[in-house]
Amino acid sequence: MTADAPCPSVVAPRRPGPPLLQVKNLTRHFTVSGTRIDVLHDCTFDVARGEVVAIVGQSGSGKSTLLNVLGLLDKPSTGSYVFDGVETTPLREGRTSRLRGDGIGFVFQQFHLLERRSALANVGVPMVLGGVPVLSRRSRAKELLESVGLGHRLHSQPHQLSGGEQQRVALARALSREPALILADEPTGALDAASSTMIMDQLIDQARVRDAAVVVVTHDPKVAESADRVVELVEGRTR
Ligand SMILES: Nc1ncnc2c1ncn2[C@@H]1O[C@H](COP(=O)(O)OP(=O)(O)OP(=O)(O)O)[C@@H](O)[C@H]1O
Ligand SMILES: [Mg+2]
């Protein structure tokens, strides 16, 4: 970080911008061996650019299911999901995956890094998929790893990194295409308190400085407290 760069989470929340996501009366059910399982019953909420929203709820309440829909990895059974002004429910897979690749970054509890690949290579993956030329890719990946404090670990592979460091690589990867939306499913679930704070500070920084929308699923009250707003899922309904 340069001397002029704002400190993470010290920058005051801005007035939220227009909604980036608009979820309305969204439901999701699955059918397993002929039996219907209703997971999301009725979810309605918006998330604005520049806003950090925590999604909380008991285990099994449907948080990851909802996040998959927000990330365009899954479709609702009924209801509406508007992302960046586009109603996504009728879109075909090609358009959905372009929207996802261009606009959404993911961070998961278990990091999901490629083993036997360096931190640099891992951060470069979304840029390979986005067709970024190799030289720009490498310099951007280096810059991002430096920004999460891993400038000295560029060539380390996941098994040579601590959990907190692996999550910072995963975060750098999620940010590589400057997504308008960052989705994180229990990003601090496998980390100690200091690493959790560092990850949350970086996520909040994305909202404050870059005006990204950030949605974080969490069981951790400290993480929820640091969000601008909390959406609770109770038996598949938002509150
Ligand atoms: N593909 C699927 N097929 C059938 N059932 C599913 C599927 N995905 C999720 N479920 C069911 O939906 C419910 C909610 O799951 P989900 O993973 O969204 O919960 P969660 O709130 O993220 O829980 P946790 O806090 O434990 O991660 C669970 O009962 C789960 O078994
Ligand atoms: Mg989950």
Q: What is the pLDDT of residues 63-101, one digit of tens each?
A: 999 999 999 999 999 999 999 999 999 999 999 999 999
Query: Ligand 1, from 31, 40, 63: best to mutate by most atoms within 8 Å of Cβ?
Result: 63
Please check whether residue 103 is in contact with residue 84, taking contact to mean a CB–CB distance below 8 angstroms.
yes
Q: What angle do CA 141, 147, 150 make, to 5 degrees?
A: 75
For a substitution probing ligand 1, which of 37, 110, 238 has the most ligand atoms within 8 Å of its CB?
37
* Whether the Cβ atoms of residue 68 and residue 50 lie closer than 8 Å to each other: no
DSSP 25-62: EEEEEEEETTEEEEEEEEEEEEEETT-EEEEE--TTSS
Averaged pLDDT, 174-200: 95
Model confidence, pTM:
0.92
Give CA–CA dist 43/26, Å, rounded.
5
d(CA 175, CA 43): 27
Distance from the alpha carbon of residue 150 to the mean position of ligand 1, in angstroms: 34
First to last CA, the chain: 38
Q: Is the CB of 60 under 6 A from ligand 1?
A: yes
Residue closest by Cα to atom 25 of ligand 1: 59
The architecture that CATH gives domain 19-238 is 3-Layer(aba) Sandwich (3.40)
pLDDT of the residue at 98: 94
Domain ranges of the chain: 19-238
Q: Which residues pair with 52 in a beta bridge?
A: 214
| Per-residue pLDDT tens digits for 17-28 | 679 999 999 999
30 - beta bridge partners?
Answer: 37
Distance 30 CA to ligand 1 centre (A): 10
Residue of the CA atom closest to atom 2 of ligand 1: 30
Q: What are phi and psi of 211, to 5 degrees?
A: 65, 25
Q: Determine whether the shortest distance from the Cβ of 57 to ligand 1 is under 6 A.
A: yes
pLDDT at position 1, please? 42
**What is the reported pLDDT for 4?**
45
Distance CA 199, CA 6 (A): 16
**136-175 pLDDT per residue, tens:** 999 999 999 999 999 999 999 999 999 999 999 999 999 9
